[in-house]
């Protein structure tokens, strides 16, 4: 039998059911499909329901990739249960939901993969591309003789820190109530870092609670992957990447953006978006501060009030994305009395928007951000310096990269408590068109831009990953 010289690759892609993970997965699906992959993209039924409502899609016959399919890309779409009824409040009962992701979701993925393989799809399934924050990828890949590709949607620096948890523990910086507070200088590939800049799960003295257990179980599984692909750029994190590459095949393929940065071709948003282009068009270039804390993180009412008072003091023009559930309690009236009246004409408070469209608008000159990794990459691409207020997970380490290593942003405040005077002061620093910040972010943008060029590192790394996959498949035959 003649061995096929160039096997057609068929990847089953399964993101974590959170907006910050779904976005890079959808863009990666498009990118891989444009390079000849067949993609079976799997969302949970709950995620699909949110997307359908937010994007006003037509019933179940439509799907987020219908436009891509019409353009000739082979992206197939599927929905599976996450183990909970659709009516279950996943956000309000987060610990229970995460326990389900650990113990229940795997059975639904297993059932789906088995049925897909038995249906004998053309081409046959080659690999699973699973979010690194899934606990089951190595088990299922091994069971069905598939290649296991782990997609890490955070910086390589964060993965390097996680991969050295034992070292942090032995040095007294993790897993003990009397943690050392001295600067950490011993993690391979990571520049000097303060304990307060470690990911939040590394700062928690009790690692037995549900979220740390979930994260560390996922990371244990990710280390068994055949390949790790990462939404970062080689030149931005070369030391951290080199350390991971000593442990397993690792490819920096970022930034994973849509083909056209401002015109999305995939309907992946979980919340309805409104268009504020006309309002932004009325503002001078570089004069508007964009404020958003992402789709997941909760904040205290006191912090929101201090930020609002800082905005009033600064007198800056702004567009503020204030989700209705940002307090986690459902309380709606959280801004100071008369805030919107006092900022009429110069400010907008909105429930959600297209972040790509806002950041890429010339009127936007600064971004007050929770330091989610997607937000940071998008902000760099649009050359918008940042005021950083990390809230959870990788965001503390991301802030360190933005402020200390790349010098393209500033800290919102020096302590844990947000103070209105510091808010106003740091908004002023960002919006004053500081030469140093602008030069640094211009240079960092060029690193991202060059990485995606024909001879760039990310393009080469993606092509190398694809070739390695094809070679592995040929060897298996």
Summarised one tens digit per residue, pLDDT across range 300-315 is: 899 999 999 999 999 9
Question: Cβ atoms within 10 A of the Cβ of 287, count?
Answer: 17
Q: Which domains does the chain have, with CATH numbers?
A: 10-261+454-476 (3.40.50.2000), 276-432 (3.40.50.2000)
Q: Is 13 helix (H, G, I), strand (E, B) or coil?
A: strand
Instruction: Identify the band that residue 333 occupies on the pLDDT scale cut at 50, 70 and 90.
Output: confident
pLDDT in tens, 335-356: 998 998 999 999 999 988 889 9
What tokens does 21 get?
A: 């993970």
Give pLDDT, residue 174.
Answer: 85
Q: What is the pLDDT of residue 267?
A: 58
Contact (CB, 8 A) for 154 and 18: no
Q: Is the pLDDT of residue 11 over 80?
A: yes
Q: Is the pLDDT of residue 33 over 90?
A: yes
Mean pLDDT score, 248-268: 75
Q: Are 379 and 398 in contact (CB under 8 A)?
A: no
What is the per-residue pLDDT for 390? 94
C-alpha 128/C-alpha 223 separation (Å) is 15
The first and second tokens of residue 395, run together, are: 């965001």
Query: What values do phi and psi take at 193, rounded to 5?
Result: -135, 140
Which residue, 13, 15, 47, is CA-closest to 269?
Answer: 47
- What is the C-alpha to C-alpha distance for residues 110 and 133, in angstroms, rounded to an integer? 17
H/E/C letters for each residue in 312-331?
HHHCCEEEEECCCCCCCCCC
pLDDT at residue 327 in the model: 79
**CA dist., res. 174 & res. 191, Å (int):** 18
Tell me the longest C-alpha to C-alpha distance in the chain: 77
Q: Answer whether residue 64 shows pLDDT above 90.
A: no
Over residues 421-440, the mean pLDDT reads 91
What confidence category does residue 175 fall into, taking pLDDT thresholds of 50, 70 and 90?
Answer: confident
- Asked which of 92-106, 124-138, 263-277, 416-430 is least confident by mean pLDDT, the reply is 263-277
- What confidence score (pLDDT) does residue 133 get? 96
DSSP 8-state class, residue 455: T
Structure tokens at 450: 């060059």
Q: Where are the beta strands (DSSP E) in 81-176?
A: 127-131, 147-152
- CA 454, distance to chain mean position in Å, is 25
288 against 436, higher pLDDT: 288
- The answer to whether 354 touches 286, Cβ cutoff 8 Å, is no
The mean per-residue pLDDT over the stretch 191-216 comes to: 88
Q: Give SS3 for 205.
A: coil
The H-assigned helical ranges of 198-255 are: 200-203, 210-222, 238-245
Comparing 263 with 359, which gets the higher pLDDT? 359
For tokens 């179940």, the residue is 60
Mean pLDDT of the chain: 90
Between the CA atoms of 192, 154, 406 and 32, what dihedral angle is there, to the nearest 10 degrees?
Answer: 140
pLDDT, tens digit, 9 for 90 and up, residues 101-158: 999 999 999 999 999 999 999 999 999 999 999 999 999 999 999 999 999 999 999 9
Per DSSP, the three-state class of 10 is strand
Measured CA to CA, the distance from residue 132 to residue 165 in angstroms comes to 17
- When pLDDT is cut at 50, 70 and 90, the band that residue 56 belongs to is low
Instruction: Pull the structure tokens for residue 34.
Output: 């444009």
Greater confidence (34 vs 66) lies with 34
Closest CA to 29 of 75, 77, 79: 75
Please state the rounded mean pLDDT for residues 354-378: 95
Confirm whether pTM is higher than 0.85.
yes
């Amino acid at each position: 039998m003649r061995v096929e010289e160039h096997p057609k690759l068929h990847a089953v892609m399964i993101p974590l059911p959170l907006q910050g993970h779904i976005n890079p997965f959808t863009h990666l699906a498009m990118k891989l499909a444009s390079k000849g992959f067949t993609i079976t993209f799997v969302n949970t039924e709950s995620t699909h329901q949110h997307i359908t409502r937010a994007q006003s899609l037509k019933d179940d016959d439509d799907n987020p990739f219908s436009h891509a399919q019409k353009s000739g890309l082979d992206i197939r779409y599927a929905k599976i249960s996450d183990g909970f009824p659709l009516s279950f409040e996943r956000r309000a009962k987060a610990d229970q939901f995460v326990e389900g992701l650990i113990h229940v979701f795997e059975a639904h993925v297993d059932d789906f993969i088995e049925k897909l393989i038995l249906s004998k799809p053309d081409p046959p399934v080659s690999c699973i591309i699973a979010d690194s924050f899934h606990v089951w990828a190595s088990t299922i890949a091994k069971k069905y003789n598939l290649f296991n590709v782990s997609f890490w949607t955070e910086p390589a620096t964060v993965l390097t820190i996680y991969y050295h948890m034992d070292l942090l523990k032995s040095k007294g910086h993790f897993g003990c109530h009397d943690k050392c507070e001295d600067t950490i200088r011993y993690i391979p590939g990571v520049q000097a870092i303060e304990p307060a800049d470690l990911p939040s799960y590394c700062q928690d003295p009790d690692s037995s609670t549900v979220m740390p257990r979930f994260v560390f179980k996922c990371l244990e599984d990710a280390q068994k992957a055949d390949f790790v692909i990462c939404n970062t750029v080689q030149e931005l994190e070369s030391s951290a990447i080199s350390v991971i590459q000593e442990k397993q095949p690792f490819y920096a393929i970022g930034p994973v953006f849509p083909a056209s940065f401002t015109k999305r071709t995939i309907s992946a948003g979980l919340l309805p978006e409104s268009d504020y282009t006309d309002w932004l068009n009325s503002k001078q270039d570089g004069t508007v501060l964009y404020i958003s804390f992402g789709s997941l993180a909760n904040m205290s009412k006191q912090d929101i009030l201090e930020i609002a008072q800082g905005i009033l003091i600064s007198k800056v023009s702004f567009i503020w994305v204030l989700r209705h559930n940002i307090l986690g309690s459902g309380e709606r009236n959280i801004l100071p009395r008369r805030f919107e009246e006092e900022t009429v004409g110069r400010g907008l408070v909105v429930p959600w928007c297209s972040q790509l469209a806002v950041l890429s608008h010339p009127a936007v000159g600064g971004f007050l951000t929770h330091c989610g990794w997607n937000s940071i990459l998008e902000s760099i691409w649009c050359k918008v310096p940042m005021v950083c207020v990390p809230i959870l997970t990788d965001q503390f380490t991301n802030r360190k990269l933005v402020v200390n290593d790349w010098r393209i942003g500033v800290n919102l405040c020096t302590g844990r408590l947000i103070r209105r005077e510091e808010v106003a002061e740091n908004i002023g620093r960002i919006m004053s068109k500081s030469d140093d910040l602008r030069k640094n972010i211009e240079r960092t943008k060029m690193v991202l831009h060059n990485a995606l060029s024909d001879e760039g590192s990310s393009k080469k790394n993606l092509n190398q990953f694809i070739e390695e996959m094809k070679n592995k498949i040929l060897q298996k035959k």
